[in-house]
Amino acid sequence: MFQLARKNHLARNLIKMHKEFGSEYKFFPKTFILPSELGDFKATFHNKSAANKPVYIVKPEAGCQGRGIFLTSNPEDLNPDDHYVAQ
């Protein structure tokens, strides 16, 4: 249950299933587990105009009841030491 209840573990397992089964697991958005994928996350913002910058919902990996969730279109809003899941 722990592997499904924590956002970071659920994301990691869904990413693995998407790699294994492809189109059957395309129902969830592009997901980054931060800080380990911070470089890839920042790369999604590179070479984008201000009007085309993606907006991500960022959630603390172990939070609950909506606490700590925020939207960002700037990767500099994140503390590189904190653990998040961004979609």
pLDDT digits (tens, 9 = 90+) for 20-57: 999 899 898 999 999 999 999 999 988 777 778 899 99
Q: Does residue 58 carry a pLDDT above 90? A: yes
Whose tokens are 């960022």? That residue is 58
Check the CA dihedral 3-5-6-12 and report its sign.
Answer: positive
Q: How far apart are CA 41 and CA 18, in angstroms?
A: 18
Q: Which domain holds residue 25?
A: 2-86
According to DSSP, residue 37 is labeled T
Percent of the chain scored above 70 by pLDDT? 100
Q: Is the pTM of this model over 0.75?
A: yes
Using an 8 Å Cβ cutoff, are 78 and 68 in contact?
Answer: no
